[in-house]
Amino acid sequence: MDIVTVATLALMLLAAHWVADYPLQGEFLATAKFKGPLRAYHLVAHAGIHGGAVALVTGNVWLGLIEWALHTAIDEAKVKGKTSFATDQALHLICKAAYIAFLAA
C-alpha cells in the first residue's frame, strides 16, 4: 500500500470512529450502555455500529467482526470504571492502527 492509500484509510477509519462514537451514539445509547435492564444489548449495539463502520471502510468483514468484539470489550472496561475516557479512546485508535498495519502487510 502506498502512503496516500494508508493516509486515506487512516482518515476514513478515524472519521468513521468519531461519527459512530458521537452523533451515531447519541445521549440515549451513551446512557443506556451504562445502566438499565438492556445495558449489555445497548453496549453490543453501539459496538456493532463501529464494527459495521470498520467493515464498510476496509471492505473486510473479519476486521469488522474483530472491531465489534474489541469495541465491546474496551467499552465494557470503561463502563466498569477500569479505564478512563482517554484510555478508552487510545485503545480504539490503536485498534484502527492495527487494522491498517494488517491491511498494509
Supply the DSSP string of 43-85, one letter for each residue.
HHHHHHHHHHHHHHHHS-HHHHHHHHHHHHHHHHHHHTTSS-H
pLDDT number for residue 36: 86
pLDDT along the chain (105 residues), means of 10: 96 97 91 92 97 98 98 96 96 98 95
Q: Exposed/middle/buried for 12, CB within 10 Å: 0-12, 13-18, 19+?
A: middle
Residue 23 backbone dihedrals phi, psi, to 5 degrees: -65, -35
Give CA–CA dist 30/45, Å, rounded.
Answer: 11
In the block, residue with C-alpha cell 445502566:
35
C-alpha cell at 91: 485503545
The C-alpha angle 76, 90, 74, rounded to 5 degrees, equals 15
Residue 14 backbone dihedrals phi, psi, to 5 degrees: -65, -45
pLDDT number for residue 7: 97
